[in-house]
């Protein structure tokens, strides 16, 4: 199963999630796909607007992926999470250690304003 669609975007790499749910059953494979597409030090926006459910196992995979981007000093922004999912992200304080944006344009704008070229939570 293919989880992501690679979108052309001259502002950076963009992956669009193609499934509605990420759970303990699917998240490891979905994020492994992302790792295989990661280009060294290239910024990435993951558009998750189609997602309507994520469990704590998938959040753990997301944290692991974010750590790998920080190690590479590459910007990484997640865009398009629905209000309920952002509620979970905020309750877990993930928004304190990772970057989120309501939409893809906002995600690329966030990267553009990050003068370090790395994720703004890199120092944590």
Partner 1 sequence: MADSAKTLLVQIDSRLEMTSLVGTCIRALCLDAGLDEMAAYQVQTCTIEAVNNAIIHAYGGQSGHSVEIRWRLDDAGLSIQVGDHGKTMAEMPPEIAPDPLAESGRGWWIMRQWMDSVDYETDGTGNRVILRKLLA
Shortest Cβ distance from residue 15 to partner 1 (Å)? 21
Look up residue 117 and give its DSSP letter: S
The residues of the shown chain that bind partner 1, judged by CB under 8 A, are: 21, 23-26, 53, 55-57, 59-61, 63-64, 67, 83-84, 87-88, 91-94, 96-97, 124
**Contact (Cβ atoms closer than 8 angstroms) between residue 77 and residue 45:** yes
Identify which of residues 56 and 116 has a Cβ nearer to partner 1 in the complex: 56
Question: Helix crossing, 27-37 with 56-71: angle to 10°?
Answer: 20
Nearer to partner 1, 31 or 108 (CB): 31
- The C-alpha atoms of residue 96 and residue 31 are separated, in whole angstroms, by 21
Q: Which is nearer to partner 1, 15 or 89 (CB)?
A: 89
- What's the min distance (Å) between Cβ of 74 and partner 1? 17
Asked if residue 33 lies in contact with residue 4, where contact means CB atoms within 8 angstroms, the answer is yes
């Amino acid at each position: 199963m293919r989880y992501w669609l690679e979108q052309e975007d001259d502002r950076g790499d963009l992956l669009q999630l193609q499934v509605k749910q990420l759970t303990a059953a699917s998240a490891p494979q979905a994020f492994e796909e992302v790792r295989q597409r990661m280009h060294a030090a290239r910024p990435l926006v993951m558009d998750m607007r189609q997602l309507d459910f994520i469990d704590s196992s998938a959040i753990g995979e997301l944290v692991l992926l974010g750590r790998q981007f920080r190690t590479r000093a590459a910007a990484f922004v997640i865009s398009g999470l629905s209000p309920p999912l952002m509620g979970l992200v905020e309750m877990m304080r993930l928004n304190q250690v990772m970057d989120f944006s309501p939409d893809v344009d906002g995600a690329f704008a966030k990267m553009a304003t990050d003068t370090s070229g790395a994720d703004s939570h890199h120092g944590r």
